[in-house]
Amino acid sequence: MKKYLMILLSLAFCWVISISPAVFAEGDRTHNHNELTESHDVENHTHEHKYEDESHHDEAEDARGDGHENHEDEHGDHEDEDAKAEISPESAKKMNIVIEAVTPATIEKTVPLTGRITLNRNTKSDVRARFQGIVRDVKVNLGQSVTKGQALAVVEANESLQNYTITSPINGVVLERNTNVGDVTGDKSLFVVADLSNVWAKFHIFPRDDAFVKSGQKIAVHTLEGGEGAIGKLDMLFPTADELTQTQVGIVVLPNPDFRWKPGMTVEGDVTVATTETPIAVKNSALQKMEELGDVIFIKEGNSYLPRPVRVGSKDGSFTEILQGVKPRELYVSEGSFIVKSDIMKSTAEHAH
**DSSP, residue by residue, 235-280:** -EEEEEE-TTT--EEEEEEEE-TT--S-TT-EEEEEEEEEEEEEEE
Least confident of 141-145, 216-220, 288-292, 346-350: 346-350
10 pLDDT band (50/70/90 cuts)?
A: low
Q: What is the pLDDT of residue 345?
A: 87
Max Cα-Cα span within the chain = 204
The whole-number pLDDT of residue 268 equals: 94
**From residue 218, how far is each of 107, 252, 344 by CA, in Å?**
13, 10, 40
Query: In residues, how long is the chain?
Result: 353
Task: Write down all domains in the chain, each with its CATH number in brackets.
Answer: 110-119+197-273 (2.40.30.170), 122-194 (2.40.50.100)
Question: What is the share, in percent, of the chain residues with pLDDT greater than 90?
Answer: 66
Mean pLDDT of 319-339: 95
Regarding predicted confidence, which is higher, 248 or 68? Answer: 248
Beta bridge partners of 300: 305
Section 285-302 average pLDDT: 93
What's this model's pTM, rounded to 2 decimal places? 0.62
CB 135 within 8 A of CB 155: yes
Query: In sequence order, what are the residues at sequence separation of 6 or more whose Cβ sits closer than 8 angstroms to the Cβ of residue 88?
Result: 303
Residue 349, pLDDT > 90, answer no
30 confidence band (pLDDT: 50, 70, 90):
very low
